[in-house]
Amino acid sequence: MAKVAVIGAGAVGLSTALNTQQILPHASVTIIADRFTRDTTSHGAGGLFLPSIDHLHGRDPDLVTQWSVDGFKFYSSLASSYEAGDSGHMIMPGYVFSHKEIKNPLYKRLVYSFRELRQEELKKLGVDYEYGYQVTTVITDTSKFLPWLMRRFKDNGGTVENRTVQSFQEFVGKYDIVMNCSGFRARELCNDKKVYPIKGHLLRIKAPWIKYWVYTEDGAYFVPSQDAVAIGGIRQKDNYSLTADPKERAGILERCYKLWPSLKGAPIINEWVDLRPHRDPLRLETETMSFSNGSLKVVHNYGHGALGITLCWGTGLSAARMASAELMKNSKL
């Protein structure tokens, strides 16, 4: 029986672990992490499925498309199944607004519906943008999705260790392959200085009258979940602060209230600040590491930045296939 370790329990780590179990049903899979569920960066994400190749510099567009296709297939199947309530998936219409024409975006080929709004429709909506698009896609409520993934993983026989990994050398001779989904910690574990933080800041409000989402190019957007509406946000490169800056909060509220006045007056029930782990390019590859006590096969899967929820299932599937191929080479299957 092959022994597989997965470092990290965010959306990428859990998706990679679950895909590994499905592709390697006879393998023993263990998740090792020091942050789970509410303590992960993934927990605070808005969960809007709207993939963009522009946000993933240096990756083959065909690969990004395939990861997006795999992700939408998985999410849409959950959103239309009896598990939707537990997994946190909803089919929801919304709007994308822009000052420039958005020509043939990646998500146009994947989502349920996509059409450009007429000028009279933009005028009726009262928005100050030259272009608008009505899009029906999938929303992931991460507060439900992460626990759902963990339950599925454990139901499949997976085990969990709550500890901090200090070095890959710890796994030599104990595991046949390691799936590295450590996110921002890859800066230390892999000495990978291509990984950098993008500070995110979202507020969650109680606004049950909002039944649609809105996304703009100006840092103003809102996305309903099953219990609240996330409004944001910021994307600040190389900002390592985990503090909820009052000026940033005021800026988010000002931009969102201007965009959609019906949000004003809704009580704030939660606030999220964290560092999205970004890398140019996203790292998804196999490496053989050498240490004094032996060698170790590692599949790296990190650096998704703001597209963590969108791409986690697709990259997790690819990472699991890479692990299967490596184990086949070494006659571990």
- List, as one string, the DSSP characters of 286-311: EEEEEETTEEEEEEEEEEEGGGHHHH
Q: Rounded to whole angstroms, how far apart are CA atoms 93 and 139?
A: 10
CATH number at residue 217: 3.40.50.720
Number of structural domains in the chain: 1
Helices 11-23 and 308-329: crossing angle in degrees, nearest 10, is: 40
pTM for the model stands at 0.95
Predicted local confidence at residue 54, as pLDDT:
75
Element (H, E) at 324: helix 308-329
What distance in Å separates the CA atoms of residue 30 and residue 28, rounded to the nearest whole number? Answer: 7
User: How far, in Å, CA of 40 to CA of 48, rounded?
Assistant: 18
Give the model's pLDDT for residue 333.
53
Q: Count of CB atoms within 10 A of residue 203's CB?
A: 23
Question: Are the CB atoms for 310 and 71 separated by under 8 Å?
Answer: yes
Rounded to the nearest angstrom, the gap between the alpha carbon of residue 2 and the centroid of all alpha carbons in its chain is: 28
CA neighbours closer than 13 Å in the CB half-sphere of residue 205:
20
Domain limits for position 151? 3-329
Q: Please count the CA atoms within 13 angstroms of the CA of 53 that sit on its side-chain side.
A: 18
Nearest to 295 by CA among 179, 187, 191, 176: 176
pLDDT of 47: 96
Note the pLDDT of residue 222: 98
- C-alpha 226/C-alpha 26 separation (Å) is 36
Instruction: Please give the structure tokens belonging to residue 252.
Output: 């988010």
CB-based contacts of 60: which residues, under 8 Å, 6+ apart? none
The maximal CA–CA distance of the chain, rounded, in angstroms, is 69
> What pLDDT tens digit does each residue of the chain (333 aa) get?
899 999 999 999 999 999 999 999 999 999 999 999 999 999 999 999 999 877 677 788 899 999 999 999 999 999 999 999 999 999 999 999 999 999 999 999 999 999 999 999 999 999 999 999 999 999 999 999 999 999 999 999 999 999 999 999 999 999 999 999 999 999 999 999 999 999 999 999 999 999 999 999 888 999 999 899 999 989 999 999 999 999 999 999 999 999 999 999 899 999 999 999 999 999 999 999 999 999 999 999 999 999 999 999 999 999 999 999 999 987 755
At 332 the pLDDT is: 56
pLDDT on residue 124: 97
Find, among 88, 107, 26, the residue nearest to 310 by Cα: 107
Q: Which residues, at least 6 apart from 158, have a Cβ–Cβ distance to it below 8 Å? A: 17, 21, 29, 30, 31
